[in-house]
A and B are shown apart, each in its own frame.
Chain A
Amino acid sequence: MKTLIWVEHDGKTVKDATLAVVTAAAKLGEVHLLVAGQGVDGVAAEAAKIAGVGKVHVADDAAYAHALAENVAPLVVSLMDSHDAFLAPATSNGKNIAPRVAALLDVMQISDILSVESDDTFTRPIYAGNAIATVQTKDAKKVITVRGTAFDKADTSGGSGTIEKVAATGDKGVSSFVNAEIAKLERPELTSAKVIVSGGRALQNSENFHSIIEPLADKLGAAVGASRAAVDAGYVPNDYQVGQTGKIVAPEVYIAVGISGAIQHLAGMKDSKTIIAINKDEDAPIFQVADIGLVGDLFKIVPELTEKL
């Protein structure tokens, strides 16, 4: 089987999310990549070095500069005559593009896979991760999005893919990019961090969030996350949110501070290797999934912990 992977990149480098997709695609057969964007020769060169990659298709055109699904999907479709499966990371861009491709190919997409059981059978989470479904597809072409935390990342070196230019399919003219506001991160990225310190509503306000959660995160070299309650209350921006509707993370260590553990939050972090909970309510549901729990006042415990580390 020949697979085609949509490469997530920022115009300069390949994003980590793509590497997990390469590992998933390698289980299906020959791995080809698609680098679409504007001025992406550097990205293509980097992509060709990823271990296990056969061919790197490069579509360099202004129409692909902002990964608009309306323009990227027809490009992918133009390459699907010679490929059997299309895979994308389950990132916001991947989730935006892949279903449009599936509809144009008249196939049903398999979202957010956790494993490849065989050529046509995959597992995926449903009901906020409270159940795992094994699904088999009857479609001739497969369209799949891959959960990044469920597969190891392919090596970024050792590969020797061949780079091939592909013809642009043009700007469909139904949508245009206006602007983007990307938060500046001084800490590791949430989805790839080894350690995450996450805060909830119990922090009470934005000042406390910054003065209590961030010093602990910095001591541990950790990324900072948040529950929906903390985001809704405005303590931190939306993209800090971990959960069914936010980011799905699976770090080595997840420290939940003042988070009760609603099922929607657990959906985003319960595959973490070790979960540590700090909460004053000893009946909080978070303690049912925590490997290590500490019951007490976070305003006393967390600064003390930061101090002792």
Chain B
Amino acid sequence: MKVLVPVKRVLDYNVKPRVKADGTGVDLANVKMSMNPFDEIAVEEAIRLKDKGVTEIVAVSIGEAKCQETLRTALAMGADRAILVQTDDKVEPLGVAKLLKAIVEAEQPQLIILGKQAIDDDNNQTGQMLAGLLGVGQATFASKVELAADSVTVTREVDGGSETDKLSLPAIITTDLRLNEPRYASLPNIMKAKSKPLDQKTPADYGVDVAPRLTTLKVVEPPKRTAGVKVADTDELVAKLKAMGVAK
């Protein structure tokens, strides 16, 4: 069984984003970039399914040439080969989903595992959109995956608790934080990953129109909170709570 894992290169989650002074976006020059944390979880899950019928893992990334680094990371973790759809244009989730649909039709994977959201745009759309375009089942926010020959049973994190759904294959899964603990790539595996196949494509190869539908008019910093006060003891804190009407 073949598994497709789309991965995105994003600003490292430990870096505090800085909004550009001209309001056009977030400054990404000379800052650390990494694989989106939810995508690491997706790659890890695909690898863990390898002893349960998965025979090949294909990692895909869409974006600038540097996304190759992200794909090499996926290969070093254990993916078998990679596809880079290279473009310097910004591709929205709808465009990404359309490109992925074309790749799915060419590669015929039984399972596609994506992160639930990218920590830059915080959209939480691509997996659902891809499932809609393909007309297949979707299990979003997965915390547990049980793969069978022709179906997959997924426990999902939902408001208030968890829900388990069963999907026939092919199917889409998007990962939540609790699904697994991604592995670190070892040095020998990082070296080996350099010789694994990485195909280079462009959006035009798939004949997909990825022109953006949304225009970002401006990006600003959120309103700053005014500096607070420190209180010395619980008596003072109780007094404050009472003044706010929170405590009687």
Q: Which residues of A contact B (CB under 8 A)?
A: 66, 68-70, 73, 91-93, 95-104, 106-112, 121, 125-139, 172-183, 185, 191, 195, 219-220, 228, 232, 237-239, 244-245, 247, 252-253, 263-264, 270, 274-276, 287, 289-295, 301, 304-305, 308-309
Stretch in B65-73, B133-141, B188-196 touching the partner: B133-141
Asked if A108 and B246 sit within 8 Å, CB to CB, the answer is no
B23 — nearest CB in chain A belongs to which residue?
A134
Q: Which residues of B contact A (CB under 8 A)?
A: 11, 13, 16-17, 19, 26, 92-94, 97, 116-117, 119-133, 135-141, 143, 153, 156-168, 171, 176-178, 212-222, 225-226, 228-235, 237-238, 240-241, 244, 246-247
Beyond A108-B213, A130-B16, A177-B164, 20 additional pairs, beta carbon < 8 A: A95-B128, A100-B129, A106-B94, A108-B214, A109-B125, A125-B222, A127-B11, A131-B17, A132-B222, A133-B219, A136-B215, A174-B171, A175-B166, A180-B158, A180-B163, A219-B247, A264-B13, A293-B231, A295-B230, A309-B241
B122 — nearest CB in chain A belongs to which residue?
A126
Among A96, A185, A263, the residue within 8 A (CB) of B140 is A96
Among B26, B129, B238, the residue within 8 A (CB) of A102 is B129
Q: Please list the 9 inter-chain residue pairs (A to B) with the smallest Cβ-Cβ separation, ordered nearest first.
A: A103-B132, A99-B128, A103-B129, A108-B213, A175-B137, A99-B125, A100-B132, A174-B137, A182-B161
Asked if A135 and B214 sit within 8 Å, CB to CB, the answer is yes
Asked if A136 and B234 sit within 8 Å, CB to CB, the answer is no
The answer to whether A305 and B237 touch (CB under 8 A), given A92-B159, A103-B128, A238-B157, is yes
| Majority-rule SS of A interface residues | mixed
| Majority-rule SS of B interface residues | mixed
Asked if B159 and A131 sit within 8 Å, CB to CB, the answer is no
Among B124, B139, B161, B237, the residue within 8 A (CB) of A99 is B124
Bound CA span A239–B156, Å:
11
Asked if A99 and B217 sit within 8 Å, CB to CB, the answer is no
The answer to whether A220 and B246 touch (CB under 8 A), given A180-B161, A228-B177, A245-B177, is yes
Bound CA span A283–B202, Å:
48
Contacts of B241 in A (CB 8 A): 220, 253, 309
Measured between C-beta atoms, what is the minimum distance from B85 to chain A in Å?
18
Bound CA span A247–B141, Å:
13
